[in-house]
Structure 1
């Protein structure tokens, strides 16, 4: 299992709209082969910051599967306009 990690910096004042868009976007990623689960958590002490964690069977399932799909184009349309700056994605391996 691979854990995708990204810190999402949402533009000030757009948090509610972002959260609504994330609920709309969830089924797009969940329908992807290799998708195992997802969490989006708001920071408690930094307004507008969210932690995205997605569990994948492999990096390829995310990078070559979801990101090359039409579902990703819709995901991007729904969510990427909220971010400033765009998030860096980091992959982590199995728990030690």
Structure 2
């Protein structure tokens, strides 16, 4: 499993519209080959940043199948009016991570 982290800078007055639009277009991601789950939220340290974490079956499912697709284009185009600056995207291999137990 691979986790994608996408960070968006969104002006605070645009947050409601951004999240409403995300709710309208999230099905493009949810229906993608290899999609497993996602979480989206404002960051605590910088509330003008919104982070989207998506669990994918594999890196290829995200980068080779979803990113070049029309579904991705429609998804990102719907969100772009609310985003300022570059979108940061990076991945990590969850199989190679170490986790602790919950208390």
TM-score, structure 2 length as denominator?
0.84
Q: How many residues align?
A: 96
CA distance in 2, matches of 1:86, 1:21: 19
Runs of 4+ in 1 over 4 A off after TM superposition: none
In the alignment, what sits opposite 1:42? 42
Cα shift at 1:45: 4.5
In the alignment, what sits opposite 1:89? 89
Cα shift at 1:11: 2.6
Counting strand residues as a fraction of each chain, which structure ranks higher? 2
Query: Gaps (5+ residues) in structure 2?
Result: 99-103
In the alignment, what sits opposite 2:101? none
**Larger radius of gyration, structure 1 or 2?**
2
In the alignment, what sits opposite 2:51? 51
In the alignment, what sits opposite 1:20? 20
In the alignment, what sits opposite 1:72? 72
TM-score, structure 1 length as denominator?
0.90
Query: Gaps (5+ residues) in structure 1?
Result: none
Relative to structure 2, which stretch is displaced further, 80-89 or 14-23?
A: 80-89
* SS of corresponding position for 2:18: helix
In the alignment, what sits opposite 1:32? 32
